[in-house]
Structure formats: C-alpha cells, structure tokens
Structure 1
Amino acid sequence: MSRIAIDGGQSALRLRVVPGGRVGQGPGHIHGPDNLQQMLSAIRTAADAAGVQDDVEVVALGLTGFPAAREVAESFAKDVAELLRADEVRLTQDMVTAHAGALPDGYGVVVAAGTGLVCLAVDRDGSWHKVDGHGYLFGDSGSAFAIGRAGLVAVQRARDGRGPATKLAETTLDPVLLYKSPTLVDDVARFAPKVLRCAAEGDTVAAELVVRAAGDIAETIGTAAGTLAGEGPVPVAYVGGLFDGADEQLLAPVRAALPPRAQLIKAAGTSLDGAERLATNSPGPYADLIITHRRL
C-alpha cells in the first residue's frame, strides 16, 4: 500500500503519494469554527487530484491549523483515517514537518516563514522548544502577514497624508474592503511581495518595513537558538514562501541581526519532504510532537 504526506499551510494544502510522487493540492487553512471540516474537504480535494483511490498504509500530516486541544486533534486524526482509508495517521504541526524536511539530522533550528512565522528548535537529546507561531493577531512577527499588514498601513497613512509618500500607495487595492474577506489573513499576506519589490526598487518606506521584519525574524531565531544546550554553532534553516525569491534582500539583514551562534543555512528539503519523512520513517526526535491514530 502507498503512504501519503500532507503539508497543510495557510495558503494551500499539498499532498504527495509515496511511492510514485503523485501530487495534489487543495485550499489552505481557513480561520473559523468550521476550519477542521474545511480542512478535511481540502484533503479530499488534494487526494482526488493525486488520484488516491486505494487504501493507504500511513498518512503523515503537518498542519497550520493543528487543533490546540488534544482530544480534538485525536478526533481529527480519526476522521482523516476514515476519509483516506488509512491504517495509521500521524498528525502534527506544520513546524514539525518543516523541521523534519529542512534538517535531516534532526538537530538545530528551523524558521518557517510564510503567511505566519514560527521557529522550532530541537536539541540533540530530542528536547524541543517552539518560539512564536502565535497567529496573526498575537504573534507571527516578521511573517508575510506582518509585512503585508505593515505595508497596507503605510498605504493608508500615505493616502490620508498622515505618513510619507510611498510607491506602495500606487496599488489599486482598497485595504478597508479586506475586512469582509473570508480569506483576510491570506489576502493581507499576499501584499508582502509588493513591499519587498518596492524596497528593492529603493522605496524608503518599504525598505524600512523589510528591515524591521528582518529584525523581528532574527529576534525569534536568536531566542530559539538560545534554548539549545552548549555554546557551539547552531544550524538555522529557513523555509517558507516568504523567503522564496527574497534572496539576500531579506536574508542579509536577518543574518546581520543574528547572534554569532546562529548559522543560517539552506534547508535540505521542504515541509512536504518532512511530511514524507514522517510517513516513511520512525518519528525519531519528533515522537512527542505527533498524535498517532491507528484504525482497528
């Protein structure tokens, strides 16, 4: 039987069938009371797109919308098992699959920066520490949402005359209309590339926002690295859509603000690769971070 890896982010849910590598995609995480049902629907959509028809041996999922209550997570894992006719479901947070994909050795820090932002530090003894990942209202400092929101605030300030002129204000978007959007968080995050682009073109306001975000990211990484034992260098892999295409524009100020111990490196793989690793191998250092359901 096949195994299935799932990476459920805020912008999209991606599924991969192993072996074979067939892939499918569904809608991302939606904030609201029906988010788990919507996530099941997204998994079904992705599975159909990947041509999943037969019973499945193991499904490993890393989800942005991982349920906070254990009993809810266990119930959701059972629902996934029934949906995909899986013998076993391994359910965890997307930060865990990001770590498993980026650092095959299982030691170090991974900063996952997309719509949201979270750091996971895993020590050599398997102990772990999560930093940020508190959501768009109370955390996710330096994330695409945070950058997008700051950029849209700058747009409104410039249009009001309360703030300096900026190329950001040339957008045809009316930020106020986003209040009623059911995909508000994703919509706001999608303005981050505009901020990065304007910063690269020399817009002072946008450049200040990028530097501020880089400082927030470096603070989170430094905090995570500081939780690991010893004083030696700590590998810090960066993953997520925010870093895609940003290159040194974002990485350079992040690197400059980091403590010497934190060493930025390229990730060995993606969150989907990490989900595949958890679907095809023993949990290893991530055992305490995974909820497992087995069908009788």
Structure 2
Amino acid sequence: MTAGPPGSSSVTPDGYVLGVDSGGSGLRVALGRVAVDGPLFTTVCAEPVRTGPGGIDAAHLLEQLLPAAAELLGRAASHDTDGTDNAPAVVAALAIGAAGMATLGERLRAELPGALAEALGVRRLALAADAVTAYAGAVGQRPGAVVAGGTGMIALGTDLTEWHRADGWGHLLGDSGGGAWIGRAGLEAAMRAHDGRRGGSPALLARLHAVFGPAEGLPGLLYPRSDRPAVLASFAPEVAACAGADEVAAGILREAAVHIAEAAAAVCPAAGAEDGEGCEVALTGGLFRMGEPLLGPLREELAGLVPQARVTTGTGDPLTGALRIARALAVDGLRLPHHPTMLFVDAGDEPSSGTGAG
C-alpha cells in the first residue's frame, strides 16, 4: 500500500483516507474516500492507548492502528465500489485525534510520521488534540467555537488564524461544568444531607444509596480508583434526573452552565460579531444528552455572555472530524490553523508544515 509523492496532483478521488479517534474507551478507526463524505468502514480497538512517563505510547498506538488499517483496507478491497478491483490501495492522508495530544503527544509527533510512511506509505499526516477533531466534526473548517463536554469539558475556538482554548485541565484543576464536576458536586450535596449540613440534598442522597450503596462506604469506593473522573461522571445523570424537583440539583446544573458559558465566551472569535453573522458555538459530547435541565440554563448564560452566539448541535463526532481533516489534507484544503501541539501537520516534503500557528 503506497501513496504518491506530496502534492495534490498525486491524489486521486478514489484514494483512501484514514481517521483515528483515540480516547479513554479505546481506539476508533474509520476508512473513507478522498472525494466522498463519511466513512466507508469503521472498526474499534477496545484497549485504550497507554500513557507513560514519556507521554502517549506511540508503539502501543501503532500495535492497534496498523492491523485495524489493514483490516479496513481489506474490507474496502473486497467491497470495491468503483469496479477497480486490481487498483492498489492508496492511503492519501491520515489524521489522528488523541486525548492528551497537546500535552502528552511528543512521542507521537516524533515517531509516527516515519513509522506510518514506512508501514502504509502515508506522506500526509495530521496529529491533533481531540478537541481539534471535535471541532472539525462539529463545526468543520469555519470560524467558530466548540464546547466538547463529557467526563471533562473543554472549549476551543478559532478565527482560522489561531486556536483559543479554555479549560480542559482535568478534574483536579478544571473541567468545570463537565460530567465529573457535576457528579462530584452532586455527591458532595448528598454527603451534606447525610451529615445534616446546610446545602444537602436528600434526593441526591437517595440516588447515592441506589448507585453506590451506603454513604459511609463511598470514600473507600472512590479514592483508590484510578478512573475517579469516570466514576464521578457516572453520577451526573442522577443530578440531571433530580433537577426537575430538587432545587439543589437544579442549582448544580445552573452553576455548571455558568462555567460552560464562560469557557465558550473566552474562545468565541470576535469576527462573528463584526460581520453580523454571530459566532457559532457548537455543543458536542455526551454531557449535552442531559437535555433541558442543562441546556436551558446554558442557553440563558450564553445569551448574556455571548449575545452574538448561535448555539448549534455538532453534526459530527471526533472520528468524523479526523476524517474531515484527513480529506482536507489530502487535497491541500486544510484551513484549520496548524499548531505545534494542537494540530501538527506533516505533509511530506513541505517544509513549513506543523511548525506554528497559521
């Protein structure tokens, strides 16, 4: 499987692109055509890529990605859609979005370009923070902002010149308004009710008992866990379920909405306000499946902090975004700003790729 030399003239519409989404639940890989939107085939590697003292483990990622890519290319060959059964499989471009890429991706940026060129013949590679692929999936290549909410919470915006980031600092330093933040606040309110302290919620205490058992046992269940953020976030839906009848739970979601709106306001490009079209703020991720208990207060907060905001629901997830970046890269159409850690681009012998914002 080989790709032609860099340059859009070497890319054919029936060439392939690969998109990868690496996160806490594993590795998802999608294969698509250069000229056709959407994936042809997808596969999932359930084991999350390891992270060690040197950052994200490039060798472990390759151990999963290369067999997955071979499987998808084999499936494409056996279900050929254009009648060219004997044509060689050309991987024109590949984009990988990974949680932790911005801060833990040094090994990936150092090792993957050469390894993937050798194994798949890929000469055009993008390595992106998962917030960037979330942006590409939700907004595309337009100016705007995305709020990606799940266990954590991060806001990312661009005017297509540079990236602006707010939060995404993890459950100890931030991720304010995300699932772990909401779950922790709900459990704290439950423990206050257990103790008889002001600000407690008997309704949330009842849900704590139903989900985790006796309140006295919660610290022993929670503190030794290496996946504490996910455990905390698992209680967030209970907060949303109680919010309609419980003022403490409703107050937690209102406070979460304030944090999320503040992050969106910090990254929303000013250009939208100047041209009269408004700043698109796309909401993506499982957090917003809570529905109106969170979305109602969030719309109110955004209207006050970012009057020019046009709130939308993301049309694609991070895997969709990775495929979109790969397609754009394949045809020299990538408009999202390159950045040394947020969106590192290696496009063969193009000397300026991945060296700065712009």
Q: TM-score scaled to structure 1, two decimals?
A: 0.85
**What pairs with 1:24-63 in structure 2 (closer than 5 Å)?**
24-28=44-48, 33=53, 36-37=56-57, 41=60, 44-45=63-64, 51-52=71-72, 56-63=91-98
CA change 1:95–1:161 in 2 (3 A) is: same
| Cross-structure match for 1:187 | 231
Distance 2:59 2:299 in 1: 39
Hey, what does 1:292 align to over in structure 2? 345
Residue aligned with 1:106, SS: coil
How far apart, CA to CA, are the structure 1 residues paired with 2:241 and 2:60? 35
In the alignment, the residues of structure 1 paired with residue 136 and residue 173 of structure 2 have an alpha-carbon distance, to the nearest angstrom, of 26
1:280 CA drift (Å): 1.4
Per-residue CA deviations over 1:95-146 (Å, capped at 9, x if unaligned) read: 11111111124211111111111111111x5232111112221111111111
Secondary structure of residue in 1 paired with 2:97: strand
What amino acid sits opposite 1:26 in the alignment? A
Letter in 2 for 1:120: L
> Aligned pairs, how many?
292
1:5 to 19, 26, 30: 19
Shift of 1:93: 0.5
Counterparts in 2 of 1:103 and 1:295: CA distance versus 1, 3 Å: closer
Q: Which amino acid aligns with 2:46?
A: G
Contact 2:26 2:44 (8 Å CA) reproduced:
no
SS of aligned partner of 2:164: strand
| Mapped partners of 2:51, 2:228: distance in 1 | 9
Describe the shift of the 1:242–1:47 C-alpha distance in structure 2 as closer, same or farther (beyond 3 A).
farther
Deviation at 1:80, TM superposition (A): 6.6
| Residue 265 (1) aligns with residue 315 (2) | no
State the match for 2:143 in structure 1: 107
Shift of 1:225: 1.9
Question: Percent identity, aligned pairs only?
Answer: 33
Q: Is the 8 A contact 1:148 1:191 kept in 2?
A: yes
Relative distance call for 1:46 and 1:194 in structure 2 (3 A) is farther
Of residues 87-96 and 75-84 in structure 1, the stretch that sits farther from structure 2 once superposed is: 75-84
Name the aligned partner's letter for residue 232 of structure 2. Answer: V
Distance in 2 of aligned mates of 1:274 and 1:218? 23
Instruction: Report matched runs for 1:1-296 at 5 Å.
Output: 2-19=16-33, 20-28=40-48, 33=53, 36-37=56-57, 41=60, 44-45=63-64, 51-52=71-72, 56-68=91-103, 71-78=106-113, 81=116, 85=120, 87-88=122-123, 89-123=125-159, 125-163=160-198, 164-170=200-206, 171=208, 172-173=211-212, 174-176=217-219, 177-200=221-244, 202-225=245-268, 228=271, 230-231=273-274, 232=276, 233-244=278-289, 246-258=290-302, 259-282=306-329, 283-288=334-339, 289-293=342-346
Report Cα offsets for 1:220-266 as digits up to 9, x if no partner. 1122226557533111110011012x222211111101131112112
CA positional deviation for 1:212: 0.8
Q: Tell me if the contact between 2:161 and 2:337 (Cα under 8 Å) persists in the aligned partners.
A: yes
Q: Is the 8 A contact 1:16 1:23 kept in 2?
A: yes
User: In the superposition, relative to structure 1, how do residues 158 and 24 fare at CA in structure 2: closer, same or farther (>3 Å)?
Assistant: same
The structure having more radius of gyration, on CA atoms, is: 2
SS in 1 for 2:297: helix
Unaligned runs of 5+ in 1: none
Distance 2:130 2:263 in 1: 17
Deviates more, 1:53-62 or 1:96-105: 53-62
